[in-house]
Amino acid sequence: MEKTIAAISTPPGAGGMGVIRVSGENAVETVENIFQSISEKKVSKMKGYTAAYGKIIDRGEFIDEAVILVFKAPHSYTGEDVVEISCHGGMYITKRVLRAVLANGAAPAGPGEFTKRAFLNGKMGLTEAESVMDIISAQGKQSARTALSVLEGKLRKRIESVRDILVGLAAHLSAWADYPEDEIPEIDEDQLITGLSESKARLEKILGEYDAGKVMREGVDTVIAGRPNVGKSTLMNLLSGCERSIVTNIPGTTRDVIEETVMLGNIPLKLSDTAGIRNTDDPVESIGVKIAKERLMSAGLIFAVFDSSEPLSDDDMELLEMLSDAPAVAVINKTDLENRIEIDIIREKCSHIVFISAKSGNGSEMLAKEVENIIGTDKIDASQGMIANERQRSDAENALGSINEALDAINMGITFDAVTVIIEDAINSLLELTGERVTEAVVDRVFSNFCVGK
Ligand code: GDP
């Protein structure tokens, strides 16, 4: 029998409301000990999905007013009896109510323990459980949509479709090997290769989306570069929608690297507005320039800003030279002014060009489109369920490795017995991915990343 657990499920800090969640066989009894309903109805007499209003009283001391919500097993988040106590928010009251719950028979919940129980009670698969955490930490609409689609089981279904092909092949192979007298038609090599190749293609597609998906969840390190006065700070302010860095018309005033995360379309950008890249004698500024160059080399995305109202300068050319092979957009700014820039030279060096006016905001949608294009997020459909973390990626990678091994083995003419074993390895990796065959250690590791209360 699992012990009854409790934790504060709302974030710490001042808030209008706080929720203490209690789950387990004694959840109802535990809350009954500290809750006095206004209607004098006992908690144990309440039906599932009903609420009651009353007072939390711990050993005679009135603590707070509260609403409790009762869920009866198996119709709850964890699959156990659950009581949620909604009281006033804030550090003191929620902790005090939790203390009362713990003094009356519940144990403190470990990190992710509610969701872990939901998984162990078959309420959700492992990939779905993991996505609960992604939903909580989702920063943008797209990453929330991805996590929700995983919660709906879309990733599991995609993985299962591959597993089913492999199980079909393995079952046929072993039946044929184990019962030769039963006249099971011998599986032909073409059939085997077709099935394995199909599985390989599906896994490669899923794995190929991982990097783009990661960008959507975690954001991409973006550097805004350009010589002084081209409009870097103005662009940064446009993207972040507020006056963040100091905009001036004296060249070289943006000395420090300023960072913040903004959403451009569906993609979170971790922006740093860097000092202009140009050679200078001013020691403070030259430190900024050095940092800027280093950032540029390691950035996931570069906005190289140019002033369309002036011909290209030496500093502009130096920046252009650094862009080759980098994930860069040439942002041609100040399009509201008369055009004097040699756009053909920029075109030679950089294949992604966007024309904007950072001052008026014209052209920012084109910038968003171009970024999606560079990062590859325009080609993936976030609603179909994507691999969300390293654990899932490594299992998919292992399965793909085994499939490739099986294909090689067939090419080398190795016996079907040996091929069957390799296909089973691939199946095992996929079963581990979906959590159907997973060790306790893996489950513990998954949930240790959660916060308490989830
Ligand atoms: P930085 O040194 O690259 O950060 O450039 P700033 O953002 O400080 O801008 C330098 C000057 O250019 C400021 O006076 C801005 O108002 C002006 N500026 C920036 N973007 C535009 C634009 O799109 N059109 C026009 N006309 N002026 C701009």
Atom of ligand 1 nearest to the CA of 226: 3
Beta bridge partners of 301: 222
Rounded to two decimals, the pTM is 0.67
Angle at 207 between CA 430 and CA 384, to 5 degrees: 85
Q: What is the pLDDT, as a whole number, of residue 77?
A: 95
Residue 96 in 3-state DSSP? helix
Q: What is the pLDDT of residue 288?
A: 64
Of the candidate CATH numbers 1.20.120.430, 1.25.40.10, 3.40.50.300, 1.10.8.60, the domain formed by 133-209+386-448 belongs to 1.20.120.430
> What is the reported pLDDT for 250?
46
How far is the centre of ligand 1, averaged over its atoms, from the C-alpha of 319 (Å)?
18
One pLDDT digit (tens) per residue for the chain, 454 residues = 579 999 999 988 788 899 999 999 999 999 999 999 999 999 999 999 999 999 999 999 999 999 999 999 999 999 999 999 999 988 899 999 999 999 999 999 998 999 999 999 999 889 888 888 777 766 666 667 777 777 778 888 999 999 999 999 998 888 777 766 666 666 788 989 999 999 999 999 999 888 777 777 778 889 898 988 999 989 988 887 644 444 444 454 444 455 677 888 778 888 876 555 556 666 666 666 676 677 788 888 999 999 999 999 999 998 998 887 788 999 999 999 999 999 999 999 999 999 999 999 999 999 999 998 888 777 777 677 888 888 999 999 999 999 999 999 999 988 888 999 999 999 999 999 998 888 888 888 888 877 777 8
Q: Map out the domains of the chain as residue ranges.
A: 5-109, 133-209+386-448, 220-379
Residue-level pLDDT at 67: 97
Q: Report the pLDDT value the prediction gives residue 271, as an integer from 0 to 100.
A: 83
Ligand 1 binding pocket mutation candidate from 224, 234, 253, 332 (most atoms within 8 A of CB): 234
CA of 232 to the centre of ligand 1 (A): 7
Q: What is the CA radius of gyration of the chain?
A: 29
Among 227, 332, 359, 362, residue to substitute to test ligand 1 (most atoms within 8 Å of Cβ): 359
Other beta carbons less than 10 A from residue 103's beta carbon = 13
Cα 298 to middle of ligand 1, angstroms: 26
* Ligand 1 atom closest to the CA of 251, numbered from 1: 2
Instruction: Pick the residue whose CA is nearest to atom 22 on ligand 1.
Output: 334
| Atom 13 of ligand 1: nearest residue by CA position | 249
User: Ligand 1 centre from 259 Cα, in Å?
Assistant: 19
Domain 5-109: assigned CATH number: 3.30.1360.120
Right CATH number for 220-379 from 1.25.40.10, 3.40.50.300, 3.40.50.11260, 3.40.109.10?
A: 3.40.50.300
Q: Which pLDDT value is given to residue 247?
A: 43
**How far does the centroid of ligand 1 lie from the alpha carbon of residue 297, in Å?**
25
Listing DSSP states for 356-402 in one string gives: -BTTTTBTHHHHHHHHHHHHTGGG--GGG----SHHHHHHHHHHHHH
CA 301 to chain centre: 19
Query: Which residues surround ligand 1 with Cβ inside 6 Å?
Result: 226, 228-234, 247-249, 254, 276, 333-334, 336-337, 357-359
